Structure 1
Amino acid sequence: MRAWVVRAGENGQREHAALEEGVLLVGWHELGDLSDVPTREDIKAAVAAAYPDEGPYTVGNWTGQLYRFVHEIQPGDFVVLPLKSWRVAVGRVTGGYEHQAESADGPRHIRRVEWLVKDIDRQSIQPDLLDSMGSLLTVFELSRFAAAERIAALAEGKPDPGRPDADEFAASLTEPVKLYEEVRRRAADEPLTLSIRDFLAVWGVQRRYPAAVEQIKNDLDERGLVTVPPFTEGSIDSKIAVLAGGAEPDASGASAVTRFTDTSVVSDMIAGVYDSLQRLLGRDGGEPETETQTVAYRVSNLESANRMPEFVRVGAGLKTAMTLMVLRGYSQLPVLDEDGRLRGVVSWESIGRAHLADPRASLEAATVRGQEADRSDDLLDWIGTIQQSGFVLVRDHDHKVCGMITASDLTVQFGIRVRPFVLVEEIEQRLRRVVDQRIPLDRIRAVVPARRASRVNSAANLTFGAYGHLLKVPENWAAIGWAIDQEYFLAALEECRQFRNSLMHFSPDPVTDDQLLPAQGLLELLRSMDPQN
């Protein structure tokens, strides 16, 4: 049993038909019937022919989604449909792929589904599962954190049971003082370890904004604590240890941090800990690095950099590599030695070149040099390489491969990062237009300080916060003419203002759908009141 997300269009335009007819619907209307298109390469050829203006990345991405929809999704699998209402529908797939050449809205690619529940409140879904649903793809699998079993529970009307490996103890650390007490209680060889996500939750925050980072660092410094690696590095689900870094040395003259360095816990529990410890101790020849200095967008901030890719071992047959690449739809595979270190990469291009020289070429002959990024590298330094070659391998502190970043990963990350800004920009544009159309300039100028009033020529010169002051005035609210509750609207506007301000501060952690919900709701309200494009 597997679980999938199949969206009803970028803006949910196929949502009503999907729920009413009991089907999953995807776009790509220029494509014909895919029932007799058996392989991924065949689908790729069909996509390329139907959309000749699209580049290799887009064709490959669309191919993967269509292959999943046509061949990988099976009857009995669960499917999730995110709704425009910010609720969620869950169903069970009941049939195979179908193509409807004639329908009211044109050709359609469909799968039959029995909707088991159509109105699940997102509040009943744990943040990690909501995050997994946040991909911008139309068709993708929910495969992490026992997603299928959790979706099955939601389908039965039960709340999300959460991750089976969830750290119940971490959940009990509901305030900083409890964290301090637990660190003090533990011996140096049994450090407190938890995910960065759970660590931030102790302070009631979900993302590493500069203000939150500064507060947490000050609290740790005050208590003589340190996190290893720094909590500002790695993905939000990376593990860290919390140590009594300021405690006096033990009988051997060693600090808690040094004692931790000398234990096997370093290599066994936390990837990248050793390198971080060296920086903290100043052993790399430079100044000890503080946590506020390490706020940057590292390679390790991408989830794929911390997920071991599929690979072949040195000495395997070339047929093995080719078979795996076809089965998984990969363009390349890393070749690793017995210690997990990179010995090269095999790709369709390198295989083709090797076969031109020798039709019986071995894996070794088809293996070419692969580029490796360190987990602690600045991601920006590698974007050009990833764009040019399509991927880069990631290594840990032992120089073992621990992940791979592809151009697709960058594209998804870009979409996740840009979406909140686009949403807020549309809110501002709609407010500006309505205010300019319906409120005289003299009343717009009245909400700004007198010394600035002469420089205000339209609503475009207002700050976001000024709209709240402007629309509090009864005369201005009446001029807008909206038949909605003023108090609720102004509260939503203020919440959006705070969200917008937080976006202006760097954080290596993505904004989740749940965090976007208030701004998305305000935008939907504005679209309803002002339906112009």
Structure 2
Amino acid sequence: MTGQIPPEPDAGSDLNETKKYLDYLKNSGRPIEIRTLIGYWGNKGRGKVSVATITSDLARMGLRTDPPFDSGPLDSHVTLQGLNGELSPGADDQPEDHLLTLSRIPSASFALRTRDDESDNSGFVRRDSSVADAVTVMLRNDFSQLPVIESEARREIVGVFTWESYAQARLRGDNPILVGSATIPASAVDLHSDLFASVSPIADHGYVLVTYRGQLSGIVTASDLTREFEKLTLPFLAVGRCEQELKRVARVKLSDALAKSKKNSVEELMFGELQQLFKNHWTALGWSLSLTKFDGWLNTTRKLRNSIAHFDNQDQDLSADLEVVHRLTRWLRMIAHEPDQKADDDTAEPIGQTTTAKQ
């Protein structure tokens, strides 16, 4: 390279143009924000297809990111490395062919993102750290355990320091001064391990240590897992409630149309079929609403349903679309119920892309 900086690529750039710029970043050691990197492929988030495509394209360029771009916040930074970079060999850099891996959980990769920030390495301790330091960090952050590493230079896992391991050392009559004297062994799983496969060890121990390429990546606790499952399941429940209310209203208001349909029951209707049913028999509903606007309301719900069904919304803020679904559910619940049925008084509370490979 003659010193001239290659033009920054965009979604319309081909593989060679993108490679020139990413090689420049690799050779100069300049970090890049994850959001910016995936934007070169026209993405705003890291869905299943986009992660697989970008990973494959980077491999074709002889590159990978450090840390992996499919973990951590979108505004965090990564550096470009050669596929045979300086890190020790470990698990395969290719993520599994699904989105539900531990990399979804921020705490699973926190240690990778404090690599060059010595002031904020409060989530783990070295073997030769003082017990006083470890206890203070745990009290300050309300931690129940801390991963223990060999050294900052090589963050290989030694074990884990916990309140229980410290108490057991004291009960034995020891007065541990260094963390290594009260460290217990701990198994670890790879950052790209299946999320569901990690449920059992987390349930057994309350946590699991996470590694990437043989070094500490992070830790996932039972609380972290609970929050992640809440993020995954609450949208399903919200859309499910809405779909059931639509079917109930269809039974009440569109019984004649349903009787003429080829389906044996409204329960057999897919969401798109249900949407079409309302659209085709709009006048029978007798509502003083705009068909176009109401159909758009249903369309938002259908698109959200399809998105969450594929777990393809890791970085997507669903709060606005979910609130639209909640409003629809609340409105539908005001529609007259069938005889001998009572309305459910529970009200839903608000809850909180396909990539093209470069040629």
> Is the structural similarity TM-score above 0.5?
yes
The TM-score normalised by the length of structure 1 is: 0.50
User: Residue 482 of structure 1 corresponds to which residue in structure 2?
Assistant: 287
Output the amino acid matched with 1:460. E
Alpha-carbon distance between aligned partners in 1 of 2:223 and 2:37, rounded to the nearest angstrom: 30
User: Residue 189 of structure 1 corresponds to which residue in structure 2?
Assistant: 27
Task: Give the number of the structure with larger relative contact order, counting CA–CA contacts within 8 Å between residues 6 or more apart.
Answer: 2
User: Residue 370 of structure 1 corresponds to which residue in structure 2?
Assistant: 186
**Correspondence 1:402-417 to 2 at 5 A:** 402-417=217-232
User: Residue 317 of structure 1 corresponds to which residue in structure 2?
Assistant: 130
User: Residue 240 of structure 2 corresponds to which residue in structure 1?
Assistant: 425
Output the amino acid matched with 1:349. E
Question: Would you say the 8 A contact 1:438–1:480 is kept in 2?
Answer: yes
Alpha-carbon distance between aligned partners in 2 of 1:227 and 1:429, rounded to the nearest angstrom: 48
CA RMSD of aligned residues (A): 3.7
Percent same amino acid at aligned positions?
25
User: Residue 382 of structure 1 corresponds to which residue in structure 2?
Assistant: 198
Question: Would you say the 8 A contact 2:90–2:212 is kept in 1?
Answer: no
* Structure-2 change in CA distance of 1:212 and 1:183 (3 Å): closer
User: Residue 270 of structure 2 corresponds to which residue in structure 1?
Assistant: 463
Q: CA deviation at 1:229?
A: 5.1
Deviations 1:351-386 (A, max 9, x none): 222222216344444221122223243333322111
* Structure-2 change in CA distance of 1:482 and 1:518 (3 Å): farther
* Structure-2 change in CA distance of 1:204 and 1:424 (3 Å): farther
Q: CA deviation at 1:393?
A: 1.9
Secondary structure in 2 aligned to 1:176? coil
Question: Would you say the 8 A contact 2:63–2:83 is kept in 1?
Answer: no
How many residues end up aligned between the 2 structures?
Answer: 313
Q: CA deviation at 1:437?
A: 1.0
Q: CA deviation at 1:394?
A: 2.0
User: Residue 15 of structure 1 corresponds to which residue in structure 2?
Assistant: none
The TM-score normalised by the length of structure 2 is: 0.72
Q: CA deviation at 1:213?
A: 5.8
Output the amino acid matched with 1:183. K
Deviations 1:216-247 (A, max 9, x none): 689x49x96465259885446476677xxxxx
User: Residue 171 of structure 2 corresponds to which residue in structure 1?
Assistant: 356
User: Residue 347 of structure 2 corresponds to which residue in structure 1?
Assistant: none
* Structure-2 change in CA distance of 1:445 and 1:413 (3 Å): same
Q: CA deviation at 1:214?
A: 7.0
* Structure-2 change in CA distance of 1:482 and 1:226 (3 Å): farther
Q: CA deviation at 1:491?
A: 1.4
Q: CA deviation at 1:416?
A: 0.5
User: Residue 523 of structure 1 corresponds to which residue in structure 2?
Assistant: 326
Pick the aligned partner of 2:314 from 494, 510, 520: 510
User: Residue 211 of structure 2 corresponds to which residue in structure 1?
Assistant: 395
Unaligned runs of 5+ in 1: 1-168, 243-256, 281-288
Q: CA deviation at 1:331?
A: 1.3
Alpha-carbon distance between aligned partners in 1 of 2:51 and 2:108, rounded to the nearest angstrom: 23
Alpha-carbon distance between aligned partners in 1 of 2:46 and 2:28, rounded to the nearest angstrom: 26
Question: Would you say the 8 A contact 1:416–1:510 is kept in 2?
Answer: no
